[in-house]
Structure 1
Amino acid sequence: MKTEQKIGDVVEVEVIGVQDYGAFVKFFPKNDKTTEELKGLIHISEIQSGYISNIREIIRIGQKLQAQIIDIDEYNGKISLSVRSLEKNPQVHHFYHKKHFTDARNKIGFESLSRELEHWVEENEAYLASQQAEGLKM
C-alpha cells in the first residue's frame, strides 16, 4: 500500500460500518477525491474519552467526522484512527485511590500479624516434626 498519509494527519472520514468494538470508516488520502479511497478503523476506545456502553448511540453509518490517524501498519496496510485525540476538553478520569488491607484510620499496620507470629512458628515446627517422624517410620 503506497500512501502519502502519515501518523498525525487529520482527515475527514465517513462511517461505513459499526461493530461493538469500533467503527469502520473510509476516507480519501490528503482529502483528494480523485484518488482511491482508504479504509480504517476507529476503535471504541478512540471514539470519545470516557466510558461508552453502546457505540451505536454515538456513531451511525453515513456519519462524517474529523479523525486523526494514530497508526499505520505498513505490513498489512491497516489504518487506525482516533476522534478522541481531537477533543478540545477530554474527560479526565484518572483517580488514584490508595489501597488498604485494613481500615486506614485504625493505624494498626502489622500489629495483628506480630501477635500471631509466635503461635504460627510453633504450629509449623510441630507439623514439620510430625512429618519428619512419619518419614523415619517408613
Structure 2
Amino acid sequence: MTSYQIGMRVHGRITGIQPYGAFVDLGDHQQGLIHISECHQGFVRDIHDYLSVNQEIDVIILDIDEYSGKISLSLRCLEEQGEPGKPVNLTHKHYWTNRNVNIGFTPIANQLDGWRKKAYQTFVTQN
C-alpha cells in the first residue's frame, strides 16, 4: 500500500515524455503521470517547452486510482505552496456532476425530444 495522499507535495524525476504527458519517478517503485493539461496554466502546445527527461521537479498529487494504483500529478497546483510531504488544499478539483443534487438523467430526458426533432429537421433539409 502506498503512503501517498491526494494533495501531497512530492519530489520526483521525469523518466519519459509523451505528447499527452510526462511520467515521473516518485521513488519506492512508484510512478505518476503529469497530464499535459496539468503541466502549466493555460494552453500548452508542446510539453517539451516546460519539461525534459531527467528533470527533477516537485509536484502535487491530484488523484490516486484505488483500483489500478495510478497516480495523477500536477505542476499547476504548485501555485499554492506547501512543504514537501505535507498535504495542501487543492485549488484544482474535478467535479463532473453536482453531488448535492440527485436529478440523475432527468435533464437529458427533458431535452431528448427537442434534440430528436432538431436532428430530424437537419436530416430532412440536407437530403
**Contiguous gaps of at least 5 residues in structure 2:** 81-127
Q: Alpha carbon RMSD of aligned pairs, Å?
A: 1.0
**Contiguous gaps of at least 5 residues in structure 1:** 29-35, 89-138
C-alpha distance in structure 1 between counterparts of 2:79 and 2:39, whole Å = 10
SS at match of 1:39: strand
Kindly provide the CA deviation profile for residues 66-106 of structure 1, in whole angstroms up to 9, marking residues without a partner as x.
10001000101100000100126xxxxxxxxxxxxxxxxxx
Partner of 2:56: 64
Choose 1 or 2 for highest CA Rg: 1
In the alignment, does 2:51 pair up with 1:52? no
TM-score, normalised relative to structure 2: 0.61
Q: Percent identity?
A: 45
Q: Which of 80, 83, 86 in structure 1 is aligned with 2:72? A: 80
TM-score, normalised relative to structure 1: 0.56
C-alpha distance in structure 2 between counterparts of 1:57 and 1:5, whole Å = 28
Question: Which consecutive aligned stretches of 4+ in structure 1 deviate over 2 angstroms post-superposition?
Answer: none
Matches within 5 A, 1:1-138: 2-28=1-27, 36-87=28-79
SS at match of 2:43: coil
Number of positions where the alignment pairs a residue of Structure 1 with one of Structure 2: 80
C-alpha distance in structure 2 between counterparts of 1:57 and 1:46, whole Å = 14
